[in-house]
C-alpha cells in the first residue's frame, strides 16, 4: 500500500518520510530495528522513525518543530490514520466519509453479534423455563 506524504521541506524531513515508509512496509535498515521486527516487537513511533532515519529524535518529537508535517505523519500512522495531512476540504471530506463507512460497517457487525447473543440467551432461557 503506497503511502502519500506532503512535499518535504528539506533533506532531513525527506529522511523522516523515507524512514516512516520503510517501517510501514516492514523493511527497516537499522540493525536494532530489524532485530525488533524479527522478534515481533517493532512499533512505529517518533523514536523508531528517528532511529531508522539516522536523525535526531528531538527534531521530530518537539511539538513546535519545523518538521510538524513529518511528526503528524508519524503520530497518525501510530493510530492507523493516514500518513499525510489533507490539503483541501475535499480531501478532508473524503477521508471523513471513508471513516463513516468503516464505522457503519463495524456498527452493523456489532449489532449482528449482539443479536446472535440475544438469541442464544433467549433459547437458554426457554430451556430453563421448561425444566
Q: Is the pTM for the entire model greater than 0.75?
A: no
Q: Provide the 8-state DSSP code for 62.
A: -
**66 and 92, same domain (yes or no):** no
What are the two backbone dihedrals, phi and then psi, of residue 44, each rounded to the nearest 5 degrees? Answer: -95, 120
Q: What is the pLDDT of residues 51-102, one digit of tens each?
A: 999 999 999 988 888 998 899 888 888 755 444 455 678 877 887 888 899 8
If you average pLDDT over every residue of the chain, what do you get?
85
**61 and 25, same domain (yes or no):** yes
CA dihedral over 12, 10, 63, 86, signed as positive or negative: negative
Predicted confidence at residue 81, as pLDDT, reads 47
Give the ranges where the chain is alpha helix by DSSP (H): 11-25, 31-39, 46-53, 57-61, 68-78, 89-130
**76 and 106, same domain (yes or no):** no
**48 and 90, same domain (yes or no):** no
**81 and 95, same domain (yes or no):** no
Mean pLDDT, residues 98-107 taken together: 90
Residue 111 clears pLDDT 80, i.e. is over it: yes
**Residue linked to cell 505523519:** 73
Amino acid at each position: 500500500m503506497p503511502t502519500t506524504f506532503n512535499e518535504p521541506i528539506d533533506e532531513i524531513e525527506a529522511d523522516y518520510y523515507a524512514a516512516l515508509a520503510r517501517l510501514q512496509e516492514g523493511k527497516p535498515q537499522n540493525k536494532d530495528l530489524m532485530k525488533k521486527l524479527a522478534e515481533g516487537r517493532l512499533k512505529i513511533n517518533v523514536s523508531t522513525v528517528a532511529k531508522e532515519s539516522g536523525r535526531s529524535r528531538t527534531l521530530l518529537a518537539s511539538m513546535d518543530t519545523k518538521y510538524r508535517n513529518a511528526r503528524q505523519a508519524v503520530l497518525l500512522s501510530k493510530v492507523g490514520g493516514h500518513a499525510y495531512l489533507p490539503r483541501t476540504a475535499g480531501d478532508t471530506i473524503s477521508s471523513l466519509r471513508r471513516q463513516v463507512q468503516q464505522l457503519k460497517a463495524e456498527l452493523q457487525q456489532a449489532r449482528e453479534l449482539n443479536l446472535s447473543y440475544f438469541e442464544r440467551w433467549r433459547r437458554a432461557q426457554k430451556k430453563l423455563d421448561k425444566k
